[in-house]
């Protein structure tokens, strides 16, 4: 793993680290039991039934995906972003 990081340009490693910190902040919106359940559902992948898919949507919704997308765009945009719609 570290061998791969040595061959990556520094700014890509920095961007990956920044994205990981943003994701961690949004994962923090979930309770520990919800985080555990999210991990279980994600590991099952495409074998989820309809009820589990709904549960997954609800857990992802708690992580505020729109705010995560905005924070990511703001962090990596070369121009200053205004809070539009």
0.85 cut: is pTM over it?
Answer: no
CA distance 85 to 71: 14
By CB atoms closer than 10 A (0-12, 13-18, 19+), residue 65 is exposed
Element (H, E) at 19: helix 10-27
Provide the residue-wise pLDDT of the chain in tens; the chain has 85 residues: 567 767 778 888 888 999 999 999 999 999 999 999 999 999 999 999 999 999 999 999 999 999 999 999 998 888 988 876 5
């Amino acid at each position: 793993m570290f061998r791969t990081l040595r061959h990556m340009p520094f700014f890509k490693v920095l961007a990956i680290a920044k994205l990981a910190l943003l994701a961690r902040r949004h994962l923090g919106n979930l309770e520990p039991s919800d985080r555990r359940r999210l991990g279980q559902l994600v590991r099952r992948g495409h074998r989820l039934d309809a009820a589990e898919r709904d549960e997954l949507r609800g857990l992802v919704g708690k992580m505020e995906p729109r705010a995560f997308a905005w924070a990511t765009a703001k962090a990596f945009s070369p121009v200053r972003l205004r809070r539009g719609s």
